[in-house]
Amino acid sequence: MKSKSLIGTFGLLIVILSLLGAVYAHWSDVVTIEGTVYMGELIVGILNNSVTHYETINGVPEAEFLPPANKTWVANATITLSDFETSVHHDPPETVAKKMTILMANAYPQWDVHIEFMLKNAGTIPATYTEANFTGYDVTDGENLTWRQDLWYYNTTLKVWIWEGALVDPDGEIMNVRVVAHVPEDGQLEPCTSYKVCIDIDFKQTAEECHTYTFSVTFEFVQWNKA
């Protein structure tokens, strides 16, 4: 008898709770927020067709070096761009190169190469320079060259960052390198903005005849709020 009453009470409770639930549902409402996020992009590279270079001898333009003039054929530099990347956010599209390759043939001491190019933030997010890495290798002797950094500072008058140093082997300097980057002091590159960079290379007497040297310079950037 007792168990019959308990079952009855339980059944009644279920019915009451079901009715209450229907009433609650009837008095509820929903507000929805939907979002679509278009992410920006971070692309820094060398602006296509912005590279120029000229060669000097002891600081004098090759064709004007006396005596005699017009021995511009002795050594030559060839510069090419590769690893192109195009931003999908710009109209018209912005294309920059991620890599510059410099080939210097028949080089000799006091022959100098001067390269200018535009470094462009082709993305949509400000980019901040974080570091530069210089490495070198003597292919002929199979030994690494050391980067000796002499200067790295911001010239507030010219508003440029300046790196100066040399790639050296155990016998001395192979070549001096000077990089001048016309970028703000905080190293931030704004989207759609180009910045002039100049690289000067001059070869030293310690550079050996008939040797092949290679070098690599990497400039690293991160999103502006992470530097």
For other proteins, the binding residues (CB under 8 A) are 42-46, 57-58, 65, 67-68, 71, 74-75, 83, 98-111, 119, 123, 125, 127, 130, 175, 199, 201, 203, 207-223, 226
Minimum CB separation of residue 156 from other proteins in Å reads: 25
Select 31 or 66, whichever has its Cβ closest to other proteins.
Answer: 66
Question: Hey, how many other C-beta atoms are within 10 angstroms of the C-beta on 87?
Answer: 22
Select 12 or 139, whichever has its Cβ closest to other proteins.
Answer: 139
Select 19 or 152, whichever has its Cβ closest to other proteins.
Answer: 152
Nearest-angstrom CA–CA distance, 175 and 172: 9
128 backbone φψ class: left, alpha, beta (φ>0; ψ -120 to 50):
beta
Minimum CB separation of residue 124 from other proteins in Å reads: 12
Select 24 or 73, whichever has its Cβ closest to other proteins.
Answer: 73
The candidate with the shortest Cα–Cα distance to 217, out of 88, 119, 109, 85, is 119
For residue 22, the surrounding DSSP H or E stretch is helix 2-26
Minimum CB separation of residue 3 from other proteins in Å reads: 44
Q: Which residue has the tokens 């470094």?
A: 119
Minimum CB separation of residue 160 from other proteins in Å reads: 17
Minimum CB separation of residue 125 from other proteins in Å reads: 8
Select 62 or 160, whichever has its Cβ closest to other proteins.
Answer: 62
Nearest-angstrom CA–CA distance, 212 and 175: 13
Select 43 or 160, whichever has its Cβ closest to other proteins.
Answer: 43
Minimum CB separation of residue 70 from other proteins in Å reads: 12
Query: CA torsion, points 220, 162, 77, 43, in degrees to nearest 10?
Result: 30
Nearest-angstrom CA–CA distance, 63 and 56: 8
Q: Which residue has the tokens 């007792």?
A: 2
Select 9 or 58, whichever has its Cβ closest to other proteins.
Answer: 58
- What sign for the dihedral angle of Cα 14, 19, 24, 25? positive
| Structure tokens that stand for 174 in this block | 């192979």
Nearest-angstrom CA–CA distance, 125 and 186: 15
Minimum CB separation of residue 100 from other proteins in Å reads: 5
